Amino acid sequence: MMRSFGAIVKLMGEDFDEAKIIAKAYANKQKMRFIEDSEDLETLTGAGTIGLELLKLPDVLDALLIPLGNGALFSGIGRVFKELSPQTELIAVQSEGAPSMVESIRSRKLITYPSVNTISDGIAIRIPVKQSLIDLEHIIDDTLLVSDSATLKAMKLLYQHLGIVSEPSAAVGIAALGDNKKRWWNKKVGVIICGSNLTPDQFKNWIMNG
């Protein structure tokens, strides 16, 4: 899809963070600006528009579940809600196989991992951005981790009942709902479902045949 807009796409590195390190080195060599998710303000303000859209709903949300990667999505939406709907509980959801951000937030110190093990590659962070942890400290009310099996189940539910093709990273909020059903009983809960980046084989194996 990026290529269809004229971008030059290079797939490099074993995971998200290694690809970012390579990209930073390339940008430095070419004397280009490197835009980093959650470090550069523009990535937060763009996400904040999602929060503004949600606040147009007729009912106030009791809770909002947001996938947590590097933190730009959560920071942008979270800042809007803390200002305009402070009563809404903001919950960060990450994969059990890539828990560095959640563990860093819970322990209030930077925790990194040498590798990750999850299908939710869009939020598979092993080296948190320090600025993001600072920004999120007073925004996140709670954190949850979900398994890949729960995420796959959530992807299938989204497709079967809503016709939504979701990538794993976008389905973790629904997975968290399924894992904590009693917690959300009789509450108005919002879930951010953002991203449908699946290969044809992944769609077939994870959603249709899984």
The architecture that CATH gives domain 41-208 is: 3-Layer(aba) Sandwich (3.40)
What was the pLDDT predicted at 133? 94
Give the domain ranges of the chain: 41-208
Question: Is the Cα dihedral 61, 52, 41, 119 positive or negative?
Answer: positive
Identify the band that residue 1 occupies on the pLDDT scale cut at 50, 70 and 90.
Answer: confident
46-to-33, 43, 76, 165 alpha-carbon distances in Å: 18, 5, 7, 23
Q: Is 70 exceeded by the pLDDT of residue 210? A: no
User: How far apart, in whole angstroms, are the C-alpha atoms of residue 105 and residue 133?
Assistant: 7
The structure's pTM equals 0.92
Q: Print burial letters for 158-171: b (CB count within 10 Å at least 16), e (below 16).
A: bbeeeeeebbbbbb
What is the average pLDDT score of the chain? 94
DSSP alpha helix (H) spans, 41-162 = 41-54, 72-84, 100-107, 130-136, 148-162
Percent of the chain scored above 90 by pLDDT?
89
